[in-house]
Chain A
């Protein structure tokens, strides 16, 4: 059979994906096993972390820039989307009686709010990226950390969106479907990006920026592009987060959160999309798993952060490429299946 044109293939896959999501969504709502709500909550939080990790992977992994300010972009997306919903969209939607029309409107406006949040975050990414990306690795890290903190302090001082009090009353419009839909979109964008010419430019910059420049790749332009795309997705995840938590507080977006996302990306392997996904899933589950395991382990205090830091150090010393290195999960599994004598070559090539 002749291969379908790429856009038709994408459309079909996309439709299947959405159908699966809708099915899973309804399925999750239909399950009434006791205690499932807690796990459903964790699953949604995993989705948000996946978006964060994959988007940071574009900046840190593919383009090789060390950004420590991802939480700041998430915050911008979260607060802006919440602002739009709370002050404009929700009052409008609530004027309609409950029913299909209202449901459609609500979801459409959620989409708008989240995308606009992402757009503002992308703008912030541009503004942050442009001056900073002239800097070298470690400096860039500190500057992005600084920007993340500045963003947080600015939000802390805007009274209209709650300042230190926090932003309450955000309607619970985000759910499994939306979060995982954007997961899919993020993964798709990331995957397609890395295979495109833009992605190749990223990889070139990552490997050796000066050589890339010598080859005619405008490093700053591409670095800024990576920042914009990464921060857009971070903003989107923030908007979804806002509509899921129903409450925002600047404390949720401290350096600690940026750090957690960095740990996910590094653990999964800088440059590996599936690695980021796997790590995000594991690390989202870990605190809750520890919470459930606490009665058995007889510890009162939370050792999670101590474990994280030790794990990070050990990881860097023994296996700095993380779980999957730069390869994707299917490449790792495929390599296993292939004959062992191919391994040395594969290792060298990777």
Chain B
């Protein structure tokens, strides 16, 4: 039982990070029907921004670990990462995706792959391919309760993830912008006819998604300090599977999908079949697409001629 709960907790903590990335995928797909292959690498970018900012902060400030200041600094770094990635998301959309809005989808897909590889290998070129060690922004404490051992990092991840998901939920369902986003994802033409500045809304979607990916990147760097330029590939793919699992285009679905994937992975890698963990996400993906392509919460849309 103890192992079960421990695995569950681990799975949820990992899944929360997947969920944050999945939100970006699902929002962009909902609006543009585009799989933004490069999204996983925006997550990586967030981690690296955090790495360099964190090192700068530690080098230029006195040792403030354990105090309120360190939380403040961590928060500032997260904000910086969010802004950087948001900016990147905006530029990405403007430069690489917008010109291809009316092109067949395969062109956008290939471009997205190109941007993804550009970030990965450009990252290797610029940052170096060797793994880097994310600085300890907040002091770590090991906590034990009921036979389960965890660290305050896992709790931070959960809390921060929930906060941002709640913020996103509010934005999408409680603000004018959110309504505009939902309108554009429902029908692009009608929305533009209704006077919604579709280009701006799309840019906003990308910025939001990228900012969330940046949060995920910082949380990842905190929990698993080893970062490298290729770190975004696998989480990106798994987050995409999570988005599909939840029903692509569906915001709460992405969260549920992310948590589910995290938990399933956790149980599989703790079992006898841990050899096959890398393939688990893909098996789930294929399973969903074969048996329930609209995902858990999506609705089936017939393709109209």
Contact = CB atoms under 8 A, between A and B. Distances in A.
A141 B118 contact: no
Interface string B23-41: 0000000000111000000
A266 interface: yes
Contacts of A13: none
Interface string A125-161: 0000001100111110111011101100110010000
B109 A138 contact: yes
B122 A210 contact: no
Given A147-B282, A316-B111, A138 B35 contact: yes
A310 B34 CA distance: 20
Interface string B106-135: 111111011111101110110000000000
B164 interface: no
Contact of B114 (A137, A142, A303, A309): A309
Nearest to A140: B289
A66 interface: yes
A313 B110 CA distance: 8
A67 to B, nearest CB: 11
A86 to B, nearest CB: 24
Consensus secondary structure, chain A interface: helix
B286 interface: yes
B217 to A, nearest CB: 20
Nearest to B129: A301
A145 B112 CA distance: 15
Contacts of A137: 105-106, 109
Nearest to A68: B113
Interface string B199-240: 000000000000000000000000000000000000001001
Interface stretch (B43-51, B95-103, B147-155, B260-268): B95-103
Contacts of B303: 136, 210
Nearest to A214: B305
A310 B118 CA distance: 7
Consensus secondary structure, chain B interface: helix
Contacts of A171: none
Contact of B286 (A143, A312, A313): A143
Contact of B110 (A153, A157, A310, A312): A312
B1 interface: no
A206 to B, nearest CB: 10
Interface stretch (B2-10, B59-67, B75-83, B272-280): B272-280
B96 A317 contact: yes
A320 interface: yes
Interface size class of chain B, counting residues whose CB lies under 8 Å from the partner chain: 35 or more
Contacts of B118: 306, 309-310, 313
B193 interface: no
A201 interface: no
A157 B111 contact: no
B114 A210 contact: no
B293 interface: yes
Interface in A63-82: 66
B142 interface: no
A153 B35 CA distance: 24
A316 B122 contact: no
A131 B292 CA distance: 12
A308 interface: yes
B286 A146 contact: yes
Contacts of B114: 309-310, 312-313, 316
A305 interface: yes
User: Which of A135, A143, A309 counts the most B-chain CB atoms under 10 A from its CB?
Assistant: A309
A139 B121 contact: no
A262 interface: yes
Contacts of B289: 132, 135, 139, 143
A266 B110 contact: yes
Contacts of B105: 137-138
A332 to B, nearest CB: 21
Contacts of A136: 303
Contacts of B117: 259, 305, 308-309, 312
B96 A142 contact: no
A143 B285 contact: yes
Interface in A5-32: none
A211 B305 CA distance: 8
B276 A141 contact: no
26 contacts: A131-B290, A137-B106, A139-B244, A142-B244, A143-B285, A146-B281, A146-B283, A149-B279, A150-B279, A153-B279, A154-B279, A210-B303, A259-B117, A262-B110, A303-B125, A306-B125, A309-B117, A312-B111, A312-B114, A313-B96, A313-B111, A313-B114, A313-B115, A316-B100, A316-B114, A317-B111
Given A143-B285, A312-B111, A316-B114, 9 more contacts: A132-B286, A132-B289, A137-B106, A138-B105, A262-B110, A301-B125, A316-B111, A317-B99, A320-B100
Interface of B: 33-35, 96, 99-100, 103, 105-111, 113-118, 120-122, 124-125, 237, 240, 244, 275-276, 278-279, 281-283, 285-286, 289-290, 293, 303, 305
Interface of A: 66, 131-132, 135-139, 141-143, 145-147, 149-150, 153-154, 157, 210-211, 259, 262, 266, 270, 301, 303, 305-306, 308-310, 312-313, 316-317, 320
Q: 5 smallest A-B Cβ distances: which pairs?
A: A146-B282, A312-B114, A305-B121, A309-B118, A309-B117
